[in-house]
Amino acid sequence: MQAPEILERIQRGENSTTQFKQDMTDANRLADEFVAFCDKRRMSPEELRRLFAESHRLFADEEALDNSDITDLNAEAFYTFLDRDNHDVYEDLKLGKLELATVLQNLGLLRDTHLTLAGNLIFGKIPSRFSPSFYVDCVNFDGDDVDVDGFIAKSTVKGSVRQQYEGGMQFLQNNLRRVPLTTGFNAQMRLEIDESVLGELLVNALVHRDYYIQSSVKVFVFKTRLEIISPGKLPNSLTVEKIKSGLSVHRNPILNSVCKSVLPYSGYGSGIKRVLRLNPAVTFFNDLDKEEFRCVIPREAVTH
C-alpha cells in the first residue's frame, strides 16, 4: 500500500475493513485483535505471533506467562546464576540497593508482574506448570525407524532448560555404546559419539527451537543413527549452508543471552562449526513441511 492510499484510508476513518489501534506494543492483544478482525482467513493468535516473530517484531521467550508471578521463580537458582554472572548486581541485591523484580525485568525474565517464557524455562520452580509442551522426549528404538514394534528405553525429561539438558545427556550416556580407546583388560572407554558433539546439538535444540510450536525436542536413538530434532524450521533467511559457515540468528534472544551462564554454550554461532570439526559425518535437515530442524549423527558399526 502506497503512502497516498494510506492517508486516504485514514481520512475515511474506520469501517468494515479498517480499524485504528493506538497501542501496538502488546503482541498478544494485537494478535487477538487480528484474529477477531479476520473472517475470510481464520488465523489463530499462535499463527500471527509466529508471523510477527519471523519479521523480528516479536520473540516467544519475551512473552509474559499469564497466572505466573515472581513467587514461581526458583530464587536459589537465580541467585547462584547472578553471583556468577554479575557479582556487583548480586551484592547490590543482597544489600537492598536493588529490587529483585527490577533485576529480573532488566534481564527479560519478568514482564510486569509475570515471568516471561525465558524466566520460567531457565529459573522457574516448576516450568511445566506454565509451559507443559516444552520438554525433551528421549527414545531408544529397537530398530531403525519410529514405527518399530518396540523400544529399548524411553524417558520424558521435564524441568528447567538446565535439567532438560542434563537429563537428555544422561539418557544418551546410558543408551549409546562405549568403545575402547586402548586394548587390554583395563582399556579406557569412550562414548561411540563424541560427548562434545552431543552437548552442542542438544544445547542448540533447547536454545534455538521455535517456542511458538507446542512440541517437545526429540532425542531418538536408532540402531544405526542418532537424531536430535527441534521444533521449527530455521528462522528467516537461514539455511543449512549458512549455519555450517557460522551464521546465526537469535530466535530467542533472552535464552541466548542468559543461557551462556547456565548451559555449556557460547552463543557466538560457533556450535555447528565445532560439531562438524569433531564429526564431519553429522548432517542437518531443515524440514519446511514438518517445520522441524533435524540433526543426524551416524552410530559406529558394531564389531565382534
For residue 237, what is the domain's CATH number? 3.30.565.60
Lowest-pLDDT range, 19-23, 81-85, 139-143, 292-296?
Answer: 19-23
Point out the least confidently predicted range of 23-27, 91-95, 246-250, 259-263: 23-27
Q: Is the same domain home to 149 and 291?
A: yes
How many domains does the chain divide into? 3
* pLDDT score for 172: 98
150 and 291 in one domain?
yes
The pLDDT mean for the chain works out to: 87
Return the number of other C-beta atoms located less than 10 Å from residue 169's C-beta. Answer: 19
* 187 and 38 in a common domain: no
Give the strand pairing for 217-221 and 178-180: unpaired
Is residue 17 predicted with pLDDT exceeding 60? no
Band of pLDDT at residue 223, cut at 50, 70 and 90: very high
pLDDT value at 20 more than 70? no
Structural domain boundaries enclosing 118: 70-128
Model confidence at 26: pLDDT above 60: no
Average pLDDT on 86-92 reads 96
Helix axes 75-85, 87-94, angle to 10 degrees: 130
What is this structure's pTM?
0.81
Please check whether residues 151 and 290 belong to one and the same domain.
Answer: yes
**Tens-digit pLDDT profile for residues 141-153:** 999 999 998 999 9
pLDDT category, 237, cuts 50, 70, 90?
confident
Residues 252 and 150 in one domain: yes
Higher pLDDT, 63 or 56: 63
Give yes or no: residues 116 and 43 share one domain: no
User: Per the domain annotation, does 245 fall within a domain?
Assistant: yes
Q: How do residues 245-262 score in pLDDT, each as one tens digit?
A: 988 888 999 999 999 999
Same domain? For 195 and 266 the reply is yes
State whether 186 and 234 are in the same domain: yes
Residue 44 CA to chain centroid, in angstroms? 22
Residue 206, domain member (yes or no):
yes
137: pLDDT confidence band, cut at 50, 70 and 90? Answer: very high
Q: Is the pLDDT of residue 55 over 90?
A: no
Which burial class, exposed, middle or buried, applies to 273 when counting CB atoms under 10 A from its CB (0-12, 13-18, 19+)?
middle
pLDDT digits (tens, 9 = 90+) for 30-42: 666 666 655 555 6
- The answer to whether the beta carbons of residues 185 and 163 sit under 8 Å apart is no
